[in-house]
Amino acid sequence: MSTVAELSYAEAIRDGFATAMAADERVVLLGEDIGVYGGAFQVTGDLIERFGDDRVIDTPISELGAAGVAIGAAVNGLRPVLEFQFSDFAALAMEQITNQAAKMRYMLGGAVSVPVVMRFPSGSGTGAAAQHSQSLEAWLGHVPGLKVVQPSTPYDAKGLLLAAIEDPDPVMIFEHKLLYKMQGNVPEGHYTVPIGKAEIRRRGSDATVVASAVMVHRALAAAERLAERDISLEVIDLRSVRPIDTDTIVESVCRTHRLLCVYEGVKTLGIGAEISARVAESEAFDFLDAPIARLGGAETPIPYNPRLEKAAVPQIEDIEQAVTDLVAGRL
């Protein structure tokens, strides 16, 4: 690992692809408009010029079929990465993702592995309304056989992608659309970020926030504001929805004695519910000085109107208020 470049989250993913594709002929990309168009969010960009159209393959608008194609190719020795144009379109491919990719190895008693990667541009905040703004990571996180990650930085976007491509099992990557333009330091060449490991982004002593994707950055911004009022917030970037790094969360809550889960997906039956339960079931329960709190997405589809859209998912001020209440014992 030599030089470090300042890249956007989207460029970091593209750099990850270039690294993997140069090193391994088996890596092929599939997706809608990922070729000359460069991908709906310009992630694949010029890769078709660098690696050719038999490795950067435009598919028809056939999410279910393309998912099956990627799975079959993976079983037969390729390392396919399938881009969904929006994570919402996973709904079209749920059969192949959940019944085939996730279960094939188990159903066959370990006779095959399915090293497929699927990428899902995800989340709200772009005015794309109800069918192009969902956060569905909990859907796929519910399925044994899948691994599900949510990178929050350019560094992790590349490192988790490379880890996913090298992983022998199906890995689902939820990339937040609001992060594609975010800049950050990205090492050149090959490195990986381990799947299943959370990262403490900010150390604190009064409360722990567990967040992922864009919510990590909102929690960090809230932590800055709270620091001005002498409230010390620890921010954990979950990074991996399946498997969940319970140890890092429990260790943190044992120190801070308070937990707030912040997630963009619909609050009910969401990731925060799982994290809350894991902490409640752990030794950290005895350390809690306040009930566990959750901030999640509203129980609605994502609306089009910008004010409503903003109100439908946790914002910096919501996190700031929730932590203030938690620390004051008002929750």
Partner 1 sequence: MSLSAKRDVDERSFAIRELARLQLHDMLYRMRLIRRFEEGAEECYTRGLIHGTMHLSIGQEATAIGVCAALTAEDQITSTHRGHGHCIAKGAEVRLMFAEFFGKEAGYCRGRGGSMHIADVASGNLGANGIVAGGIPIAVGAALANRRLHPGRVVVSFFGDGASNEGAFHEALNMASIWKLPVIFICENNGYGMSTSTSRSTAVESIATRASAYHMPGSSVDGNDVSAVVEATTLAVERARKGDGPALIECKTYRWRGHSKSDRNRYRTKAEIDSWIEKDPIRRFEDELRAHGIIDEAGIVEMKARVDVAIAEGIEFAKAAAEPAIEDLEEHVYSR
The reply to whether 63 belongs to the active site is yes
Q: Which residues contact 269 (CB under 8 A, 6 or more apart)?
A: 138
- Any contact of residue 105 with partner 1 (CB under 8 A)? yes
Q: Which of 1, 2, 109, 230 binds partner 1 (CB under 8 A)?
A: 109
Q: Quick check: 80 binds partner 1 (CB under 8 A)? A: yes
Task: Provide, rounded to whole angstroms, the least separation between the CB of residue 17 and partner 1.
Answer: 17
The one catalytic residue in 63, 137, 175, 264 is 63
Active site residue 274: no
Beta pairing, strands 4-8 & 183-187: antiparallel
Single out the segment in contact with partner 1 by CB under 8 A; choices: 15-23, 105-113, 198-206, 259-267.
105-113
Binding of partner 1 by 71 (CB under 8 A): yes
Cβ-based neighbours of 163, under 8 Å, separated by 6 or more: 171, 192, 193, 194, 195
From residue 28 to residue 47, the character string flagging contacts with partner 1 as x (rule: CB under 8 A) and all else as - is x-------------------
SS3 56: strand
- Could you give the CA distance from residue 130 to residue 301 in angstroms, rounded to a whole number? 5
In 159-268, beta strands by DSSP E: 171-176, 183-187, 199-202, 207-211, 233-237, 240-242, 259-266
In the bound state with partner 1, the residue whose beta carbon lies nearer, of 169 and 237, is: 169
Phi and psi torsions of 272, nearest 5°: -65, -30
Q: Which of 32, 169, 175, 245 binds partner 1 (CB under 8 A)?
A: 169
- Given 32, 83, 132, 199, the catalytic residue: 132
Q: How many CB atoms lie within 10 A of CB 330?
A: 10
In angstroms, what is the minimal distance from the CB of 22 to partner 1?
16
User: What is the number of other CB atoms lying within 10 angstroms of the CB of residue 268?
Assistant: 11
Binding span for partner 1 by CB under 8 A among 5-13, 67-75, 269-277, 323-331: 67-75
Nearer to partner 1 (CB atom), residue 105 or residue 294: 105
Rounded to the nearest 5°, which phi and psi values hold at 43? -85, -50
Residues in the chain, overall count: 331
Select the residue interacting with partner 1 from 72, 94, 197, 290 (CB under 8 A).
72
Among 23, 50, 68, 232, binds partner 1 (CB under 8 A): 68
**Could you tell me the smallest distance in angstroms from the CB atom of residue 109 to partner 1?**
3
Residues taking part in catalysis:
63, 132
